Structure 1
């Protein structure tokens, strides 16, 4: 009977984490939409969601540490709980990146909206796909799907490098729109960091499912 209760607690922990993941995804999506449309109400909503994410992070940590202390799990159950603790932190940081984007958007109040020679919407869409795939791999315990997330990270890194280079050139040639260009650099960096957190989540899913630590190894194998 105690073991059945333990499995039920693991399911509850996973459900709580997935609910938090939905909040993090929503925050990033709304923040990006707010930036692209100049909708300040969306930016305020992102800040409200961040408060819910922070509360959920505390709840997940408490549930996970309670299970570690009381149940002393072994093998795959132990790996799952350890992965949850790490994924929990990455989801909270995605919420932080969303809030940063919302705050940057608010600093542009009154500045004219201009077309920049970069594709932030495409970058944001790809990062959103990475996050959704990482969470799906967690939900389905699918290590192969998690590996696909790792494969996408290099593309986001390259997109971020392009944004940095092109926006520096814009600031040099059109100093009157330096504020917009600088914000694009910062928001691109926020998206790149969100992709890093999605990659971390995928790595933790692989650790949970296979018992292997793939941090740093995947990028090395790609480089060979």
Structure 2
């Protein structure tokens, strides 16, 4: 997997990343609203590839900063992709029972002693994300964000997320505001997220949003902003 990642060109986007890992024998393992997952040929690792994920760097920072707690996934590599995409290479995880997941989220919410150090790290990174990122959402307590590592421990994943409904509503109704708040290089593939859980997202709606954003970009250039 190191060789596959190293071979990606500096300007690789989400399509190039998926193609490179697929060509190396990785197989599609699932998709969510924001990203797809591919599994390594030996089953030991997964790569999460998103066309557009503003919170990716904050999630990667959490995984690294809290690695010693063993309550987050082992992150092998993180890379931003051209156009606002995000790639995370990590250990392969499996689902847990929903009741166990909710109990784990409950420990975090209650700042239980067993997860106190993790919670402090989460709070610090999330506070900064709320300050720095437009449309950053609250912590995501979806039970599917608690999973199990190969060694049997439970870990929490994808706690940080962009407030998709608000962000995409603004993109459709007020594209000038979106353009003003998120630079073009960080939102080029905004309309290409999978939306596997919340979709489908009709092609014509995606095209209409792209057209509105392009027109807003053009107005920005014309105004000299």
Instruction: Specify the TM-score bucket, using the shorter chain as the normaliser.
Output: under 0.3
Higher RCO, Cα 8 Å, sep 6+: 1
Considering fraction of residues, name the structure with more strand: 2
Radius of gyration: which is bigger?
1
Considering fraction of residues, name the structure with more helix: 1
Structure-1-length-normalised TM-score = 0.25
Structure-2-length-normalised TM-score = 0.25
